[in-house]
A and B are shown apart, each in its own frame.
Chain A
Amino acid sequence: MTPEIAVTVRGLTHTYGERIALNAISFEVPRGEIFGLLGPNGGGKTTLFRILTTLMTPSGGEASIFGIQVAQDPAAIRGRFGVVFQEPGLDPKLTCLENLIHHGRFYGMRGSGLRNEALALLGTFGLAERAGDLTETLSGGLRRRVELAKALLPGPDLLFLDEPSTGLDPGARLELSAELQRLRKERGTTVVLTTHFMEEADRCDRVAILHKGNLVTMGPPEELKKSVGGEVVVIQAQDPAGLGEKLRERLGHETRTVDGSLRLEHPRAHELIPRIVEAFPGEVKSLTLGRPTLEDVFIQKTGQQFWNAEEETAGKAA
């Protein structure tokens, strides 16, 4: 019997020297869910990913997969999950089929059964004609598909994907997403993926947002977006701080300054636009209206722009 909870993380903490990469993270992923870890690079996603896939031991807290603690018995749970790493892990000097066959043997598969299964999977991913080609001759998108086929070969109940969309064009990203949905439907496969693409996170059942090692919020993408408010108006102004002050005093609306622009969240923000423009002539340079996205959720919870957070952490690392 496979437990109903695929992944449990409790108070997971990891530090590299002084730097805290993960700060007491807790969450659960039920079986059959597609769970996204969203965050800028350097937010702690990769550390969490390496701990869950048994490549690293956490400094504190626990992580278990199907009820088995990762740090205590890594050997017992390897083989229960498939992994697609961010970096391509194929052997360039082997063909697609050979890559799969070698991989299958690490999971105890062999003979014609293994060969047939590998060929069938390559067929599913539209690679039947490339089965005999060296993977070094494949395009990046096709290699990703071989990687996915490889990870799925042993028929894992749980699939870890680290930034699966990196290097894929938008069409291929949609295809990948459809493939994951299909796997969930047909095999009940649980998927845990990391991403820094909003659209990819949008297609997950639930998303956890990681920022500077903290889990800032978690929930279904729609609910998270609703929590922001109905609409968002972004105002570019000559003097953002001054304008923000005046908006509060004169119109009674709270705003937030993020990277030099003012953000106003309101259920019916579009009705405010004419009033803002008329009340402060000359002070508004430009103004945009939008529905909240996961990026707005990130901004609301962290007070930072998603992409700037990324640069900031990258700068620190360098």
Chain B
Amino acid sequence: MMNIFLLSVGTLWQREIIRFLRQRSRIIGAFGQPILFWILLGSGFGDSFRLPGTSAEGDYLEYFYPGILAMVILFTAIFSTIAIIEDRKEHFLQAVLVAPVPRSAIVIGQALGGTTLALIQGVILLTAAPFAGIPITVQGALAAVIVMALLAFALTSLGLVLAWRLDSTQGFHALMNMLLLPLWLLSGAVFPAASAHPLLGWLMAVNPVAYGVAALRRCLYLARPEAVLGLPDLGLSLLVTVLFGLLAFLAAVRFAEKSGG
């Protein structure tokens, strides 16, 4: 049984990667997007990110950069779960559902596939950190990759929760746009909780994505913790991100178990 479990997780993950590599438009999008940001950040457009009326050059770009990382992961992770709806439409999933594969193995395979794809984009973009003025260290970068992986897994699982419930990609897009943008806007990616309206500050305190972004910031500034004062500490941020991933994953498994395909 364990054998089938692991084989199934592996084969579903592998399939996600093969499918990705065989669709040129997806490759162009996946590599193009971080490279575009890379050029934007690297070629001196940094000043454009300055807010009118502020003097400190590049400060906002430096603040916004982890937010861009989070955004790239958020969107890639979640939209990779559209594949589940397509699998249903192409009826590929039907054959998996009548095979002796535990539903949890199907969900893990799908989640790891999405996580991998999101992580690839995140890592490419991470190499642009110095252009944004972030004093990143090797340890910090490695820690950031781990945080990105956890965040990507949590968000892919969140996408799967919806994907297993819905049968149209249009519905998925509509719901996701409603859910994703606020999750990202109120994650501390765009503005800090400290300067926000108390109500928004409260929303940010209960937004699990905010803890993922906080963990990411703390890793990027591993060498200079004084730059990220006021953020939840690393331990709490990681704990919330892991719990968020676990809950979303269990919810996705639950929906998968209820689904007849």
Question: Is the pair A94, B95 in contact by a Cβ cutoff of 8 Å?
Answer: no
Q: Which of A57-114 contact B (CB under 8 A)?
A: 75, 78-79, 81, 83, 85, 87-94, 98, 101-103, 105-108, 110
Q: How far is the CA of A101 from the CA of B11 in the complex (A)?
A: 9
Contact with A along B4-32 (1 / 0, CB 8 A): 10011011001100110011000000000
**What range describes how many residues of A lie at the interface?**
20 to 34
Among B19, B98, B260, the one with the most A-chain Cβ atoms within 10 Å of its Cβ is B98
> Which residue from chain B places its CB closest to the CB of A87 in the assembled complex?
B91
Chain B binder among A47-55, A121-129, A186-194: A47-55
Inside 8 A of A92's CB, which chain B residues have their CB? 90
Whether the Cβ atoms of B99 and A107 lie closer than 8 Å is yes
Out of B7, B22, B90, name the residue touching A106 (CB < 8 Å): B7
**Contact of A218 with B by CB under 8 A:** no
Contact check, A102 vs B11: say whether CB atoms are below 8 A apart: yes
Minimum CB distance partner of A79 in chain B: B100
Q: Would A98 and B98 be within 8 Å (CB), given that A91-B92, A106-B8 are in contact?
A: no
Known: A79-B99, A107-B99. A102 touches B94 (CB 8 A): no
- A residues near B102, Cβ cutoff 8 Å: 75
CA distance A190 to B51 in the complex (A): 73
**Complex interface: chain A residues within 8 A of B4 (CB):** 105-108
Specify which chain A residues have a CB less than 8 angstroms from the CB of B91 in the assembled complex.
85, 87-89
Let me know if B3 is at the binding interface, CB within 8 A: yes
Other-chain contact of B15, A79, A83, A87, A94 (Cβ < 8 Å): A94
> Number of B interface residues, CB 8 Å?
26
In angstroms, Cα B96 to Cα A134, docked, is: 19
Residue pair B3, A106 in contact (C-beta under 8 Å): no
Chain B's nearest CB lies how many Å from the CB of A50?
Answer: 7
- Residues of chain B lying within 8 A (CB to CB) of residue A56: 260
Knowing A79-B99, A93-B23 touch, does A110 contact B7 (C-beta < 8 A)?
Answer: yes
- Given A98-B18, A105-B11, A107-B4, check contact A89 B92 (CB 8 Å): yes
Interface centre among A50, A75, A89, A134 (most CB of B within 10 A): A89
Per-residue B-contact encoding for A115-136, CB less than 8 Å = 1, 0 else? 0000000000000000000100
Q: In the complex, which residue of chain A has the Cβ closest to the Cβ of B4? A: A108
Main secondary structure of the interface of A (DSSP, over half): loop
Contact bitstring A295-314, B, C-beta under 8 A = 1, else 0? 00000000000000000000
A150 at the interface (CB under 8 A from B): yes
| Measured CA separation A94–B8 after assembly (Å) | 16
CB <8 Å contact, A78 and B260? no
User: Which residue from chain A places its CB closest to the CB of B20 in the assembled complex?
Assistant: A93
Closest chain-A Cβ to B108's Cβ sits at a distance in Å of 14
- Structural contact, A106 and B18, CB atoms closer than 8 A: no
A93 contacts B22, CB within 8 Å?
yes
Task: Give the CA-CA distance A90 to B91 in the complex, in Å.
Answer: 7
- How far is the CB of B52 from the nearest CB of chain A, in Å? 48
User: In the bound complex, do residue A106 and residue B92 qualify as a contact, i.e. CB atoms below 8 Å apart?
Assistant: no
Taking a contact as CB atoms under 8 Å apart, the answer to whether B3 and A108 are in contact is: yes
| Residue B101 interfacial (CB < 8 Å) | yes
Most A C-beta atoms less than 10 A away, residue of B3, B23, B99, B101: B99
* Cα–Cα, bound, A98→B92 (Å): 13
Q: Is residue B117 within 8 Å, beta carbon to beta carbon, of the partner chain?
A: no
A-side contacts of B19, CB under 8 Å: 91, 93-94
| Chain B residues, CB < 8 A from A78 | 98-101
CB neighbours of A88 from chain B (8 A): 90-91
Is B96 in contact with A106, judged by CB distance below 8 angstroms?
A: yes
- Residues of chain B within 8 A of A101, CB atoms compared: 11
Cβ–Cβ contact B101 & A106, under 8 A = yes
Check if A55 sits within 8 Å of B18, measured CB to CB: no
Report the minimum CB–CB distance from B91 to chain A (whole Å): 4
**Cross-chain pairs A/B with CB under 8 angstroms, 5 sampled:** A55-B98, A89-B92, A92-B90, A93-B23, A108-B4
> Interface of A with B (CB < 8 Å)?
50, 53-56, 75, 78-79, 81, 83, 85, 87-94, 98, 101-103, 105-108, 110, 134, 150
The list of the 6 closest CB pairs from A to B, nearest first, reads A79-B100, A106-B99, A105-B11, A87-B91, A89-B91, A105-B7
